[in-house]
A and B are shown apart, each in its own frame.
Chain A
Amino acid sequence: MPESNFDFLEKYDNRVAHLAAQAEAYVHSDPDSSLFKLRLMVEVMARTLVELNASHLVDADLSTMLRSLQSSGLLTRREADDMHSIRRDGNAAVHGHESSTPTALRRLRDAWRLSRWYARTVKRGAKVDPPPFSPPPPPRESRAQQEARRKAEALEEAAEQRRSRTRAALLLFGDHDDVGAMRWRLRGELRALEGVAVAAGEPVVDADFVALVMAMDLEQILEHPSWGHSSGEAKTKVESQFQAFKVAHEAAEQEYLQTRSEIVREARTQGDG
């Protein structure tokens, strides 16, 4: 059995392998530090990938780099989600929210999955086939600590399910959708509708027409008092609608972080006793 789940990374990126191994070593004893290390590991990975693909963004913050890598197509949704999860939990740890081992273990598993993908990406064509991930064994625990850990695991599972539902509701296409096939089908239907419209005497839509639609200075037309409200008012309304959604989402995350802190503190008290 290897000493670390990340031994295989050594020959692809020594720095990333070292950070991952440290995160693994701390996962039971110090989950906050484990998450710091994972967050840093993702940052190093992202920076390396950005250097290869969009060097002008190399000094950008992590979320900007991740967005850029995702929009360039280098990061798939799966990898981007794993990286964002590590960033989110790493940031929470940095900002003083006490982390639990179940949180760190989940992110460690994500990091292992990411590491395989990363090694394949930075060394194109390399055969990367590490042994399956093996969770670091827990230390001896009292019955009370085992109970606290079970509570933390249940909380983590509930939080992941909540996030997963929120995410599934937000995405345009589901994780299991064949987007290529769906796109092909919808474009076929759109072309058929185009044919019907043209046969019915509708004008042909060409590039000039499109440019005209996009270039129309609509705001000037609609700022006229006869429309009843200005784009400024529309902006205020949209802002409040987005804000309401964001507040509800953040409240759920805050509640989770608070409950997690309580469980961690309870476990610590029982450990001290």
Chain B
Amino acid sequence: MNDLDLATTWFLSARAMACGGDEPSASEEAAAGLFARAILGLDEDACIEAKSSEHMHAMTLIDCMSLAGSLPRGTADQVMTGVMMIAYAAASMQPLQVRWASMLASAMDMTEERFQRCCVNARVVASMLPHEEELDGA
């Protein structure tokens, strides 16, 4: 899978998770991009292109699940970790968010054990998110 597809999968998954809850907060927004750059290792070009209106408008959540299903296992785990990080960063989860995490996990053919491991990592990442002032200028 190329970087654009991974960035698309990530940002669509993350947007769905953020939108499944209350109004996305500034911290959820910042966490999503930081995760893409620092943990998934995506470059700026891939992140920007994936979020372009033309690209995003052509994609549905079904497309997202299809892309998620083709991710290598390690990358799929990272994406799931990030999706759960958004819930932990907001310290709340709503039914649509639980359903989205569950459907994404199914699309990734994830076992309960793998999912739990992703949740642990998500908690760790959420607790480590730097404050905005640490990224001055961005």
Contact = CB atoms under 8 A, between A and B. Distances in A.
Bind each other: yes
A76 to B, nearest CB: 10
A142 interface: no
Contacts of A91: 136
Nearest to A223: B120
Interface residues of B, number: 65
Contacts of A170: 30, 33-34, 36-37, 47, 135, 138
Interface of B is mostly: helix
A124 interface: no
A242 B61 contact: no
Most buried by B among A67, A70, A169, A244: A169
A215 to B, nearest CB: 11
A221 interface: yes
Contacts of B20: 186-187, 190
A227 B117 contact: yes
Nearest to A244: B38
A14 interface: no
Contacts, number: 175
Interface string B63-100: 00000000000000000000000010000111111111
Contacts of A238: 39, 121, 124-125, 128
B95 A205 contact: yes
B80 to A, nearest CB: 13
A218 B121 CA distance: 10
B93 A213 contact: yes
Contacts of B52: 174
Interface in B18-75: 18-20, 23-30, 32-34, 36-39, 43-44, 47-48, 51-53, 56, 60-62
- Which 7 pairs, one residue from A and one from B, show the smallest C-beta to C-beta distance? A170-B33, A169-B47, A245-B38, A169-B44, A63-B133, A205-B95, A172-B32
